[in-house]
Amino acid sequence: MKKQALIALALLTLASCEKVIDFDTTASQSEPVLNAVPSAGKQLFVYFANTHFFLDSTNNQPVGGADMTLTVNGTDLRPASIDRCNYYFNHTTRENDSLAIRIRTNSRTITAQTVVPPMPRISQPVAFTNDSGSFHLLIVNFNIDDYPDRKDYYCINIRQRDSGSRYSPYFQRYDTIDTTYNTLFLCNDKALIDSFIATNLSVAGFSPFNQLLTPDDKFNGQNHNTTLTLIRLTDTNEVIPYLHQYTLDIETVSPERYRYLQDISGATSPLQLLTEPPAIYSNVNGALGIFAANARRTFPLITLTGGTQPPPQKQ
- Sign for the CA dihedral angle at 84, 89, 94, 97 comes to negative
Contacts of 171 (CB under 8 A, 6+ apart): none
Of 63, 92, 115, at which residue does a domain stop?
115
> Kind and range of the H or E element at 35?
strand 32-36
- Angle (CA) 174-177-182 rounded to 5° is 145
Do 99 and 234 have their domain in common?
no
pLDDT at 120 (0 to 100):
97
Do 193 and 301 have their domain in common?
yes
Do 153 and 178 have their domain in common?
yes
Do 167 and 299 have their domain in common?
yes
CB burial readout 172-199, b (16+ within 10 A) else e: eebeeeeeeeebebbbbbeebbbeeebe
Query: Would you say residue 14 lies in a domain?
Result: no
pLDDT at 45 (0 to 100):
95
pLDDT at 135 (0 to 100):
87
Contacts of 27 (CB under 8 A, 6+ apart): none
Q: What is the pLDDT of residues 112-166, one digit of tens each?
A: 999 999 999 999 999 999 998 788 999 999 999 999 989 999 999 999 999 999 9
d(CA 299, CA 206): 23
Do 105 and 173 have their domain in common?
no
Q: What is the pLDDT of residues 76-126, one digit of tens each?
A: 999 999 998 999 999 999 999 999 999 999 889 999 999 999 999 999 999
Do 182 and 245 have their domain in common?
yes
Query: Would you say residue 268 lies in a domain?
Result: no
Number of domains within the chain:
2
Query: Would you say residue 27 lies in a domain?
Result: no
Do 136 and 218 have their domain in common?
yes
Query: Would you say residue 11 lies in a domain?
Result: no
- Phi (first) and psi of residue 186, to 5 degrees: -115, 150
Query: Would you say residue 16 lies in a domain?
Result: no
Identify the CATH number of the domain in which residue 224 sits. 2.60.40
- Phi (first) and psi of residue 161, to 5 degrees: -110, 125
The residue range of the domain holding 83 is 32-115
Do 134 and 236 have their domain in common?
yes
Of 87, 115, 143, at which residue does a domain stop?
115
Query: Would you say residue 282 lies in a domain?
Result: no
Per-residue pLDDT of the chain (315 residues; tens, 9 = 90+): 444 544 444 444 444 444 444 444 454 567 899 999 999 999 999 999 988 654 455 556 778 888 999 999 999 999 999 998 999 999 999 999 999 999 999 889 999 999 999 999 999 999 999 998 788 999 999 999 999 989 999 999 999 999 999 999 999 899 999 999 999 999 999 999 986 665 666 677 788 999 999 999 999 999 999 999 999 988 899 999 999 999 999 999 999 999 999 998 877 655 555 556 668 899 999 999 999 999 999 999 999 988 888 888 766
Do 298 and 159 have their domain in common?
yes
Do 180 and 69 have their domain in common?
no
pLDDT at 306 (0 to 100):
86
Query: Would you say residue 58 lies in a domain?
Result: yes
Query: Would you say residue 201 lies in a domain?
Result: yes
Do 213 and 302 have their domain in common?
yes
Of 115, 140, 156, at which residue does a domain stop?
115
Do 181 and 248 have their domain in common?
yes
